[in-house]
Amino acid sequence: MIHASSHVQPADVAAHYDDLDHFYREVWGEHVHHGLWTERSQTVEQATRALIDEVAKLAHVGPGTPVCDVGCGYGGTARVLVRDYGARVTGLTISQAQQKYARELDPHSTNPVYLVRNWLENGLNSRSFHAVIVIESSEHMPDLRQFFSECARVLAPGGRLVICAWLSRQHPRAWERRFLLEPICREGRLEGMGTEGEYQQLAIDAGLRPVSFHDVSQAVKRTWTICAGRVARGLIQNPSYRQFLLHGTSFNRVFAWTLLRIRLAYGIGAMRYGILVAEKPGTAESG
């Protein structure tokens, strides 16, 4: 496991997403996750949507499925699952700015519901979801063991956990740790980056049964070429953007430059992107 050189607390993560609210929406839009390019000709929007569809398929999301979206960001995935799959979605984010954006889209929405809450103290009922999806938020959690145990607790028997995660290769070289992986964690406010094996073991330790693991690094890495291009364009075209990135005082602005490290880390295979699927043993009736 790669750890950031200083511990990352939920308050640091909240500040990261609140400070970078405009930056994220400008560079990523309302989906703060990788795209999945199954064909080279796909647009960013199609690739973004493809990742959501893959998660929905692996999590067995259908009409009426109660879904918990852990680290829901601006709620983009939650809205797709409600609108196009008929699911009932509860999304949790640690960022007030993200919840505000999601709520303003539909102030009276009861589905999805957006909560500002730390997943590690989520207070949700046990066995209440048939699917728990986690798109790129597990890396931020200060305690991965507790993260998995909360996922297992809120899942109903027979329910599925699907996690899309930034991972490190099994045995990163010393320089990859020092110049790429550790700085990516620190600057991106990630507590750490695990390996495929560590995620599988944590799922087992939480009482879940691993179903499958998909390494989709090659299909997602294009995301960072596109993001870096958007940042470069923003710097040229948008004065407020330039002001924030070049002259701002927030520590979190450094993340704009981290994009280049991430691109390189994927390029040489130091970073991986995986989708882990695990199931809670039992059947709906046994819950």
Ligand X SMILES: C[S@@+](CC[C@H](N)C(=O)[O-])C[C@H]1O[C@@H](n2cnc3c(N)ncnc32)[C@H](O)[C@@H]1O
Binding-site ranges for ligand X (CB under 6 A): 10, 13, 17, 31-33, 71-73, 76-77, 92-95, 98, 118-120, 135-137, 140-141
Between 120 and 242, CB nearer to ligand X = 120
CA–CA distance, 113 with 216 (Å, rounded to integer): 30
Identify which of residues 143 and 246 has a Cβ nearer to ligand X in the complex: 143
Output 111 or 242, the one with its CB closest to ligand X. Answer: 111
* Structure token digits, residue 194: 């695990």
> Which two three-digit tokens encode residue 148?
């998995």
b/e sequence 228-238, b meaning 16+ C-beta within 10 Å? bebbeebeeee
d(CA 30, CA 51) in angstroms, rounded, equals 14
Q: Please say which residue, 114 or 244, places its beta carbon nearer to ligand X.
A: 114
Q: Tell the smallest beta-carbon distance from residue 54 to ligand X (Å).
A: 13
* CA 209 remoteness from chain centre: 21
- Least CB distance to ligand X at residue 138 (A): 9
Residue type, 185: C
Quote the least distance from Cβ 236 to ligand X, whole Å.
26
CB of 49 to ligand X, least distance (A): 12
The DSSP code for 246 is: I
